Amino acid sequence: MTMTEDNNQNQIIKPAPQKTESHGAVVETLVGDMADVIENDTEGGLVKKIIHGEEEHEQERKNLSPESKKNQIFMLVGALLIFFALAIVSFFIYKNESQVVPIEKQFTPLVFSDQSTFLPIDGLKKDGVAQTVLDEISKTSVKGGGVEGIYLTENKQAIGLRRFITLIGASFVPSDNLAFVSDNFLMGTVKNDGFFILLKMRSISDIFDSLRAWEPKMLSDLHGFLGINIGSDTNYLLTKSFQDGIVENKNARILYDKSGNIVLMYIFADNNSVLVAGNEEAANEIMLRLASNQAGQ
């Protein structure tokens, strides 16, 4: 082996130096890039846009801030306008409620009526009440055979049967128990056929004795509503007795005059209804409507 070969074998192979990257170089590169952008942006457009955008954002934030005096003024004015609007609406609502007092219909109609009329009778006595009803009957606008329901009112409230009896001083005494004899009654007229009263009760037995006891005074209590004048030629009717009769196959008690004409009667229209009327035509129309009501229930 030659010396040259020995020298080659004894040579140590050194690794090649590795290239390392410094963090400082990266930072320097980013800063350099930014500098290049700013330097190359000769018009200053990008920088101006950024600054302008920040200024607009800041101004918008200030405008929307509730601490801004301008916004505080707007909020104050808005609150005042809402307050005044509510005050105006409340005023008109209160005014309408205080001025408009509708008549309350306390009772439901017992039969179908072509027309319903409310007659105020505040302060009137028996004769005044009767005349008010008679005047309405004489001028009713319903067609022939039509029914007008008449409701008497006090203080804009429809009165019941017991109050009506008290007002006209009638001797009729229904049961104090409203479950036996209802306070809901219907008074009115059948066009061209005259006045009627419809009473409702639990059963015939609850009112039968009271009606029989009322017979001697019934005409005296109701003649004003029927338009019957009590004079020298009609006085006898006040003491004349009622008789048993049949009207439309219904049991009735009837007061006849000397000629045999019906003056006044009450009819047991069904197990829960009694009809007081001055002639058969009016009675027939009301009983027909009463039967129609029951058929529809």
Tell whether the model's pLDDT for residue 103 goes beyond 50: no
Helix (H, G, I), strand (E, B), or coil: what is residue 184? coil
Residue-wise pLDDT for 238-273, tens only, equals: 999 999 999 999 999 999 999 999 999 999 999 999
Q: Which helix (H) or strand (E) holds 215?
A: helix 208-226
Q: How far separated are the first and last CA of the chain, in Å rounded?
A: 138
Q: How confident is the model at residue 193 (pLDDT cuts 50, 70, 90)?
A: confident
More confident position, 128 or 41: 128
* Phi, psi of 277, rounded to the nearest 5 degrees: -150, 165
Rounded CA-CA distance 221/74 in Å is 75
Where do the domains of the chain lie? Answer: 71-100, 115-296
Residue-wise pLDDT for 68-83, tens only, equals: 666 667 677 777 778 7
Q: How confident is the model at residue 101 (pLDDT cuts 50, 70, 90)?
A: very low
Q: How confident is the model at residue 66 (pLDDT cuts 50, 70, 90)?
A: low
Average pLDDT, the chain: 82
* Phi, psi of 139, rounded to the nearest 5 degrees: -115, 15
Q: Specify the pTM.
A: 0.65
Rounded CA-CA distance 28/93 in Å is 77
Residue-wise pLDDT for 20-37, tens only, equals: 454 445 445 655 666 665
Q: In whole angstroms, how far apart are CA 225 and each of 43, 126, 229, 268? A: 108, 10, 10, 21
Rounded CA-CA distance 195/156 in Å is 23
